[in-house]
Amino acid sequence: MFRNDMPYVEVLSPEAIEIIEGGWRRLVREIGIEFMHDEALDLFRAAGQRVDGEVVYFDPDWVLEQVAKAPSEFHLRARDPQYDVTIGGRNMVFATVSGPPFFRVGDERRDGRLADYALMAKLAHSFPELDLVTMPVIEPDDVPLDSRHLDMLLTATRSTSKPVFGSALSTSNAEDSIEFARMLHAGLDLFVPGGDDDPRPTTSIMSIVNVNSPLRYDTRMLEALLAYAKAGQAVVVTPFLLMGAMSPVTVPAALTQQTAEVLTGIALMQLIRPGVPSVMGSFLSTIDMQSGSPSFGGPESAQGLYASGQLARRYHLPWRAGGGGLTSSQVVDAQAGYEGFNTLQAAFGAGANLVVQAAGWLESGLVSSPEKLVLDIEILRTLRRQFTPLEVDEGSLAFGAHQEVGHGGHFLGAAHTLERFRDCFYRPLLSSTENFERWTRNGARDAAVRAGEIWRSTIDTYDAPPLDPVVEERLSSFVERRRHALGD
Amino acid sequence: MFRNDMPYVEVLSPEAIEIIEGGWRRLVREIGIEFMHDEALDLFRAAGQRVDGEVVYFDPDWVLEQVAKAPSEFHLRARDPQYDVTIGGRNMVFATVSGPPFFRVGDERRDGRLADYALMAKLAHSFPELDLVTMPVIEPDDVPLDSRHLDMLLTATRSTSKPVFGSALSTSNAEDSIEFARMLHAGLDLFVPGGDDDPRPTTSIMSIVNVNSPLRYDTRMLEALLAYAKAGQAVVVTPFLLMGAMSPVTVPAALTQQTAEVLTGIALMQLIRPGVPSVMGSFLSTIDMQSGSPSFGGPESAQGLYASGQLARRYHLPWRAGGGGLTSSQVVDAQAGYEGFNTLQAAFGAGANLVVQAAGWLESGLVSSPEKLVLDIEILRTLRRQFTPLEVDEGSLAFGAHQEVGHGGHFLGAAHTLERFRDCFYRPLLSSTENFERWTRNGARDAAVRAGEIWRSTIDTYDAPPLDPVVEERLSSFVERRRHALGD
């Protein structure tokens, strides 16, 4: 968990924010949002919103009244309390890549396996820059589909004691995930409301619910949203907007649509259980209009992130940036470097509270890659330092060093330097400053090759975090029982 | 030339700025700055500053009085007026890499040649993202040293009609460069002061003078500074600070030293010729304290850039960011991508007026590379779009597109999309969004390979900008005459 105390990058003027405010209000009032789930429709109807078929036409002021019930910050439990995180405020929490079906190591690209899942979760456990393991870090094609969410939960839980995301593909998947969390945190209430000493509630598991943009929540996503909200567990409500496909082709239109979709989804959560942690999600990118392929890491994404942060703060919501280390690049090359850096720096500048896809994303999200994870860790380390405010005081001016060194000298041997040389500057993990001769002698390895060596040596020294055998036995039995019930 | 209308990233509080202000004042007053040139010392003495040996102890208020005479904006001529640039204000002007002895194409790394110089200047001419050609874009080892500056000037001038930097290695080199500019802009005054209709002066050539930090201007640099200032030509006064070597190991100390060095150098320029264009230079990076190697693209550089912009604006000076596409990487790999992106985005966020080393820099500045130039052009294109304010108005919200598409549809065929699809999104030059099958079929080329293809095809379609044969003959004769006089 990182505390970002730098000034926010804000690209929307107060007038622009008012125009977007007017825009989402008009959208929810006049075009409405489709909710493909009877229980959701009944709830909205009972709360006085106009329902026609599956489309809900909202009173925007009512939406904001509901949204105001969501906590602006909350705690999420890890199985090891040292890894508990707090989402909201000035905090930034980073999660692994989520969703890829393919796995790439070096030149090999193939279907994902459960062993790859364990590998990625172990890496996430090993690097302090990562706080959360997503679901799925990689889609494991070698285990049965219906019970796969249980294999992933168990594998991730064995590999890391950091928090693990729950599944959101159906009521049953969501309930399995919640039950898993209940067993993992046995003896604790799954949801603890905020109190006098700490107004922030605590949840035990979190999941991402994607909106089926434009302006639609489908049945499965709503099943999950309802299950998590009823259990008091956190949901990241995320419109996944590739402008040109799921939204119009201008950033302001996408922001307007994103706001309409997120706020109505969060209003539903608050209607189900007032005070349940609800995260405003954003995921804005573009379609390459020549090929129809999605495109990541570009300028529209960065602008969308900065603006999304401003909007989230307007509604006092913790928010998730879609800007992880996103790239369309097929391999860990220069494009992966600059595109990944761009979306990650934008997430920092925008003051995101939760950054999903922060490490390991390649090939427009189709590929999960441990080399890319190492590259992204380097970028995260750089940005954490870059977004730590400078300490400027008399001592930092080092006047004494100038007295010692004088004109035209050098500071390598100055007392001020010798006192500070170990940690005065950022120390890279992956970047090389080797001179050409040394670099050549050491095998002329580029950043991708070095990243491969780094993750392998990280795995070589990895120690599994201890898991109480009683808890593990209980979780394993639960998974076996559910697998059987699901017919796998 | 790009106009950057985005909000500045500002990392120094008003209190921090006051501490740095107090710091540079104390440095120039108590430790002083060494000026290894009698004429400079005489000028300072005559102006009432205390001179002891070659060290000048300044009254900081007097320094600021001199600095206030420098114009906050000025024009620099190109031989083709369409490429004239204005330095200062909200403008950003981008120049090529400067100084490398080595040239890398693909896997070949070798000494630089004059033909490489022509190649890089032609590329700079071809890409609208570049405004200026530096001296030297690459050190041409195949022409004699003493007259090399003339070969470079002539080669660059034949290759591009954009402005070309002058040499600053000695009085004679500087005077040759000024004479070259006089012949190139025949019939025009080399320096035109600002007037009632446009308060900004115009110069015909610009050069960079590096401070021999810490706190020293050496003889050769001062010779050049004096020659340019006397002729009313612009100088970029640049402390080149690798923290830990040429400055103490904290960013605030480096900023304080940079300010002391720059302001006293600019005070000298204004003493010689009040109103001469003087650019505040900054070049802040770090030393890898384990190996002693310089390190580029890291967090201290970015923070230093943001802070330098704040200081330059405090003194109403146009300023140069040392943040071009800097990297320590030996090749065009992921490291080159993220480090280059970081320093370039910081230059944009910091509101730099002049960005030297903006394209082509590799291996800590030892290598000039056309593939890296293409990579940096892609980053510049991205950032130009990213730093163009969003237009937010009713039309941009695309309400009509939502009416057309409805719930769960897609926008690819919407009228709003069809009207805008050609230029609604940034279109990359280098980045690939190809899907894996297509990318594989097309040869599985990474960004470095594609960059090589792009510069080759750019050169294939390059047309030399017309140069008046009379002017060319005059310039060639001048170069021959001077070459002979210099004994080469």
Query: How many Å lie between the alpha carbon of A367 and the closest alpha carbon of chain B?
Result: 10
Contact residues, chain B, for A403 at CB < 8 Å: 31
Contact residues, chain B, for A363 at CB < 8 Å: 436
Length of chain B: 488
Contact residues, chain B, for A416 at CB < 8 Å: 248-249
Residue type, A84: D
**Nearest Cα to Cα of residue B312 among B276, B274, B273, B347:** B347
The tens digit of pLDDT for each residue in A251-297 reads: 999 999 999 999 999 999 999 999 999 999 999 999 998 888 999 99
Contact residues, chain B, for A265 at CB < 8 Å: none
B87 contact A CB<8A: no
Q: For residue A291, what pLDDT is reported?
A: 86
B323 pLDDT above the threshold of 90: no
Rounded to whole angstroms, how far apart are CA atoms A123 and A326?
Answer: 19
Rounded to whole angstroms, how far apart are CA atoms B467 and B9?
Answer: 42
- Report the alpha-carbon angle A355-A357-A363, nearest 5: 150
Q: Which residues pair with B51 in a beta bridge?
A: B56
Q: Taking the CB of residue A157, how many other CB atoms lie within 10 A of it?
A: 23
Query: How many Å lie between the alpha carbon of A118 and the closest alpha carbon of chain B?
Result: 25
The tens digit of pLDDT for each residue in A341-392 reads: 999 999 999 999 999 999 999 999 999 999 999 999 999 999 999 999 999 9
Query: How many Å lie between the alpha carbon of B234 and the closest alpha carbon of chain A?
Result: 25
Rounded to whole angstroms, how far apart are CA atoms A150 and A483?
Answer: 8
A100 contact B CB<8A: no
Report residue A85 as tokens. Answer: 């995180």
Query: How many Å lie between the alpha carbon of A170 and the closest alpha carbon of chain B?
Result: 19
**B462: pLDDT confidence band, cut at 50, 70 and 90?**
very high
Q: For residue A38, what pLDDT is reported?
A: 98
DSSP β-ladder status, B234-243 and B278-281: parallel
For B430, nearest residue in chain A (alpha carbons): A335
The tens digit of pLDDT for each residue in B371-412 reads: 999 999 999 999 999 999 999 999 999 999 999 999 999 999
In a 3-state reduction of DSSP, which class is residue B33? strand
A10 contact B CB<8A: yes
Taking CB atoms and an 8 Å limit, are B335 and A420 in contact across chains?
no
Answer yes or no: are the C-beta atoms of B20 and B303 closer than 8 Å: no
Whole-number percent of chain B with pLDDT over 90: 98
DSSP 3-state percent helix, strand, coil across chain B (nearest 5):
45, 15, 40
A424 contact B CB<8A: yes
Would you call the peptide bond into B214 cis, given omega within 30 degrees of 0 as the criterion?
yes
B488 pLDDT above the threshold of 90: no
Q: Which of B13, B33, B397 to probe by mutation at the A interface, max A CB count within 10 Å?
A: B397
Taking CB atoms and an 8 Å limit, are B405 and A287 in contact across chains?
no
A51 contact B CB<8A: no
Q: Which residues pair with B87 in a beta bridge?
A: B74
Q: State mean pLDDT over A69-73.
A: 98
The tens digit of pLDDT for each residue in B234-277 reads: 999 999 999 999 999 999 999 999 999 999 999 999 999 999 99
Taking CB atoms and an 8 Å limit, are A299 and B386 in contact across chains?
yes
Q: For residue A290, what pLDDT is reported?
A: 85
Answer yes or no: are the C-beta atoms of A157 and A476 closer than 8 Å: no
Contact residues, chain B, for A365 at CB < 8 Å: none
Q: State mean pLDDT over B284-291.
A: 91
Taking CB atoms and an 8 Å limit, are A289 and B421 in contact across chains?
yes
The tens digit of pLDDT for each residue in A11-35 reads: 999 999 999 999 999 999 999 999 9
User: B5 exposed, middle or buried (CB, 10 Å; 0-12, 13-18, 19+)?
Assistant: exposed
Q: For residue A187, what pLDDT is reported?
A: 92
Q: State mean pLDDT over B339-362.
A: 98
The tens digit of pLDDT for each residue in A206-219 reads: 999 999 999 999 99
Across the A:B interface, residue pairs with CB atoms under 8 Å apart total 392
Taking CB atoms and an 8 Å limit, are A392 and B16 in contact across chains?
yes
Query: Which distant-in-sequence residues (6+ apart) come within 8 Å of B229 by Cβ?
Result: B235, B268, B269, B272, B273, B276, B278
The tens digit of pLDDT for each residue in A293-349 reads: 999 999 999 999 999 999 999 999 999 998 799 999 999 999 999 999 999 999 999
- A contact residues 280-339, partner B, Cβ 8 Å cutoff: 286-295, 297-300, 302-303, 307, 328-339
Closest CB from A6, A288, A421 relative to B11: A6
The tens digit of pLDDT for each residue in A72-116 reads: 999 999 999 999 999 999 999 999 999 999 999 999 999 999 999
Q: What is the CA radius of gyration of chain B?
A: 23
Taking CB atoms and an 8 Å limit, are B341 and A337 in contact across chains?
yes
Report residue B177 as tokens. Answer: 């460069």
DSSP for residue A315: T
A171 pLDDT above the threshold of 90: yes
Closest CB from A330, A426, A439 relative to B300: A426
Answer yes or no: are the C-beta atoms of A186 and A230 closer than 8 Å: no
Contact residues, chain B, for A427 at CB < 8 Å: 290
**Nearest Cα to Cα of residue B338 among A368, A325, A7:** A325
